[in-house]
Amino acid sequence: MKPAAATSWGLSEAEARTRLLAEGPNELPRTGRRTPLRIAIEIVREPMLALLLGGGAVYLLLGDPHEALILLCFATLSIAITIVQEARTERVLEALRDLTSPRALVVRDGERLRVAGREVVRGDIVMLAEGDRVPADLLPVQSRDLQVDESLLTGESVPVRKVAAMPLDRTAKHQPGGDDVPAVFSGSLVVRGSGVGEVAATGARTEIGAIGQALSSLESEAPRLQMQTRHLVKLFALAGAAVSVLAVLLYGWLRGGWLDGILAGIALGMSMLPEEFPIVLTIFMAMGAWRISQVRVLTRRAAAIETLGSATVLCTDKTGTLTKNQMAVAELRTPNGVFSLLKTSDVVPEAFRDLVELGVLASAEVPFDPMEKAFYELAAERLPKRTGVSDRQLVRSYGLRPELLAMSNVWRRSGDPDCLVAAKGSPEAILKLCRLDAERSFAIRNDADAMAAEGLRVLGVARASHAESRLADEQTGFDFEFVGLVGLADPLRPEVRDAVASCRSAGIRVLMITGDYPATAKAIAQEAGLDAANVVTGEQLRTLSPAELCRAVKTTTVFARIMPDQKLAIVNALKANGEVVAMTGDGVNDAPSLKAADIGIAMGGRGTDVAREASSIVLLDDDFGSIVKTIRLGRRIYDNLRKAMSFIFAVHVPIAGLALMPLLFGLPILFGPIHIAFLEMVVDPVCSLVFEAEAEEEDIMKRPARDPKEALLTGPLMGWSVAQGVLALAIVATIFLLGLRSGIPESEIRALTFCALVVSILGLVLVNRAFGASLIAALGRPNLTLVAVATMDALVLGLVLLWPTASELFQFRQPGLRELVFVLAAGFGLVGALELLKYRFRSGA
């Protein structure tokens, strides 16, 4: 960052206006936004949408407005959903603009002036105080105990200390993270002290602006499932067209009625029109989003649902994701013992209460610092009230200094001529104040190092007594007594360890990517059950080539001191290795990697707007365990989608076969448009609603993650579908031919054949309820939707057979009871035969 030269009183109003015109406002640049009409035109060009619209138009021309309306409604719904999704990137940038445009107190023409954040320009002098959001990237001119929270940029939960910039610092490149960096960054929050800074960069030239540019340059990938479905639709459309042409030719050559042949071909083609595919996909994605919302997870991008089941790597931030993003006192250590607060909820023992009380007294009366808040919370929740504490009055405070990282508060006590001086700070600073001998200092340093190795932030606490009339000018003027050490940590969320174990059993690697220090990251990783033997830092990552990074991410589980651009590089390296990446996060620094990941998962409660807008899934209650529930649901949804697609493929075989048989062999025409409409009433709810409601199979979270390149309908699955369809066709055709040989009237044969086809379709549903489990196991998983659909189909079929008006419309004649029993027996035989085939296939595998 190279700031412009400015007077000690800042810029003049005229200079500020000139720079605002020359360099632009302090906000992210606005790119050209696509209009909804433009987006809609692009969407309609998609083959699946064109199929829905084209199918609706054909149904309309054939005089079937009901089917046309259904297809057109689905097309409209899909267009609307896609338009909403396309607007997400704009909302991400808008959220970033809001975050980077707080109001600022600047010095212009020698006077302090409050201006809008977007009007801050390079060279402005900005005044900073506790609670201020930094409006631009600054170089501190003055720093009075200035500490800022940079967790939005770095993921580090502890505030960092800032120092005034020296002349050489003006030409150096500075990055967020770490203490004593002579730069304050846009979007960070002042939690302690005050300062004066000179603006070095605004708008897109800031660190947070670089994140916005990274977001705007990322393009969302086309969903794999959508591409696979397009391929299936094309195959079905080609097959349907071929069968339709064949039907026209056969009808014309064999029966001489070319016009009737054309109408028969159109009807046959419409019966094979694969409109079920896009409808099923739309319903499964919509219902999947609803089911996922029941576990307090919001689906922002439907494509993420299809990808959940194939996730192979889960990249997680530490702060606010694995941890609570709330500092807490974890350990108290005095010369007489150690008390761990994370292992018990008991009140603080008597021997450690002075240590806690002095930590509170050494903190600000109204704390902003997360560590000071932790002292207050501990005292309020787990420290018994003691007399004589509330009547103290603050006399004087001594702040942190670069040369002495400790602070002290002097308190007047009623009835006591001497004041109590409470001090806390780094262990080295407290040891310096206490002037201990070498042996005791060495022991305390060893204790502090051991606590730090466990990932704790360590503070020393001391006390002194001094007459109020003769208070020292510096903290070193007091005769301090060492009290003890306090270890603070951002504690692990209680559900994380079980969630990590579940991910491991499902074949999903969990990686931690954090901006925090290696020791802290390693401690949290070990506590979460991750392999933390090898920790790669941002500095080490910077030296790796793209190929070396791709190799490193295969074996490394923990990444520490990572910058936002490096998070994005890690995600891209994992994707280059063929992994399907789910990325969790809650800060601005996570936004580019959330958007680049196959599945971006943001924290809804503690997360920033930017992270939520960049993600495809939002955890509404910040429960890390919900990720595992969501992955389970994702696998269930994909599993059921494959079952539905397999069923659709299988059920079209007997329908097409029965339509072709009369044309090939000169037999009576079985089905007309009304019969096809009834079959669609059976097939459509089954393939969409029944399979969608199917519960997951028992081993669904014990399977390895599926190959993302695997086709929705694999070769073996398509073969299994064809086998089901051929066997169903053989049974129904046998009933048809036996009826012809028995001399049964044509209308009764049509009724028996139609009943046999409906029963066979329901039999295919039962067989396809489970890929691996048997029918008996599948029946143990209740599916009320299946019961409702089967009952409705049976009632309507019975009505058609028994009500004379309906029978006449369908050209049916009521068959005898013996024939109907035979049809039902044939249906049971079909199910038994397919279950035997499934069992033999499973045993052979």
Q: Determine whether 671 is exposed, middle or buried from the number of CB atoms within 10 Å of its CB (0-12, 13-18, 19+).
A: buried
Alpha carbon 59 to its chain's center:
40
- Residue 586: CA count within 13 A, CB half-sphere: 24
Q: What is the DSSP string of 446-515?
A: HHHHHHHHTT-EEEEEEEEEEEGGG--SSGGGS--EEEEEEEEE-PBPTTHHHHHHHHHHTT-EEEEE-S
Which amino acid, 89? T
Alpha carbon 31 to its chain's center:
26
Sign of CA dihedral 506, 508, 509, 511: negative
Instruction: Name residues whose C-beta falls within 8 Å of residue 648's C-beta, 6 or more positions apart in sequence.
Output: 274, 276, 277, 280, 683, 687
Please give the helix or strand (H or E) that residue 182 lies within, else none: none
Q: Determine whether 554 is exposed, middle or buried from the number of CB atoms within 10 Å of its CB (0-12, 13-18, 19+).
A: exposed
Alpha carbon 466 to its chain's center:
56
Which amino acid, 112? R
Closest by Cα among 512, 513, 515, 569 to 542: 569
Q: Are 321 and 608 contacting, i.e. CB atoms less than 8 angstroms apart?
A: no
Q: How many CB atoms lie within 10 A of CB 344?
A: 9
Closest by Cα among 634, 621, 594 to 610: 594
**Residue 755 to residue 302: CA distance in whole angstroms:** 38
- CA-based R_g, the chain, Å: 36
Closest by Cα among 510, 541, 504, 540 to 525: 510
- Sheet bearing 297-299, strands edge to edge: 297-299, 617-619, 599-603, 581-585, 313-316, 509-513, 558-560, 535-537
Catalytic residue positions, numbered: 317
**Residue 542 to residue 549: CA distance in whole angstroms:** 9
Instruction: Give the Å distances, CA to CA, from 469 to 22, 151, 433, 751.
Output: 58, 43, 21, 109
Closest by Cα among 532, 535, 552, 556 to 543: 552
- Sheet bearing 328-334, strands edge to edge: 337-340, 328-334, 481-489, 457-467, 418-425, 406-412, 393-398
Structure tokens at 40: 């809609």
> Can you name the residues that pair with 487 across neighbouring β-strands?
331, 458
Instruction: Name residues whose C-beta falls within 8 Å of residue 442's C-beta, 6 or more positions apart in sequence.
Output: none
Q: What stretches of 746-816 show up as alpha helix (H) in DSSP? A: 746-768, 775-779, 784-802, 804-810
DSSP 8-state secondary structure symbol assigned to residue 27: S
Helices 784-802 & 746-768 angle (0-180, nearest 10)? 180
Which amino acid, 782? P
Q: Are 135 and 102 contacting, i.e. CB atoms less than 8 angstroms apart?
A: yes
Residue with tokens 């199918």: 55
